[in-house]
Amino acid sequence: MSALKPKSTYHNQLELIQRFAKGDSDAFFIIYKQLHLPIFRFVQKWIGSTEDAEELTADIFFKLWNNRDRFETLDYIRAFLHVAAKNSCINFLKQLKVKNVRQKELDDLLYKDAEPYFILEEVQEELLKLIYGEVEQMPPKMKEIFMLSYVEGLKPSEIAVRLNLNTQTIQNQKANAIRFLKSALADKLLFSATLFWLELALHEFF
């Protein structure tokens, strides 16, 4: 992989993904620049160490590069990164043998007998692809607030300051975004399972 120095622009997302799949490091740099911070914040939130989070995030994007020919959309890349980030956190905490409630929750998830772990991972990737696809259809302000809240992990008060809105407006938009996703995903998932999987995904990945 060559030095990360973007030399060109891409006419659309499809061209960006196609160039990335062919090993274009400029395309990788654009994707990295767009998605690095949310993934880093996710990892840092789980493991608590900035230095270790930086190292894990670098490894995650290295995995992305090594799997670059399997992605068709940016939503699929986002899903892959979030699943890879979650798995990296699990492995990191296992190695440290952290003895706390969060470690127990992660162990319960990892060793769950309900279904093989690799199948669960595929389900998670597909669900996240669906979620990101629907987020792209949200009204601009709702989408912006959703991303700041669930991807960047900002509190309603922090979002309110950044967007120059009151906190109640932020909370209302978050609630509207969740209702939007539930309604949209109900057409794509079994209705009885929609709420469960949506709440699980938002809790685990965002």
Domain ranges in the chain? 11-111, 138-206
Average pLDDT, the chain: 77
- Just give the CATH number of 11-111: 1.10.1740.10
Higher-scoring residue by pLDDT: 90, 119? 90
Is-contact 156 174, C-beta < 8 A? Answer: yes
> What confidence score (pLDDT) does residue 105 get?
63
pLDDT in tens, 1-46: 444 444 455 668 888 999 999 999 999 999 999 999 989 988 998 8
What is d(CA 30, CA 184) in angstroms, rounded to the nearest whole number?
29
Q: Looking at 18-27, 30-39, 145-154, 167-176, which range is the least confident one?
A: 145-154
The answer to whether 189 and 197 are in contact (CB under 8 A) is: yes
Q: Look up residue 137 and give its DSSP letter.
A: T
Which three-class secondary structure state does DSSP give residue 43? helix
At 106 the three-state DSSP class reads: helix
Identity (one letter) of the amino acid at 134? E
Contact by Cβ (8 Å): 64, 84: yes
Question: pTM (2 decimals)?
Answer: 0.54
**Residues 39/26, Cβ–Cβ less than 8 Å:** no
138-206: CATH number: 1.10.10
What is the average per-residue pLDDT within 60-69?
92
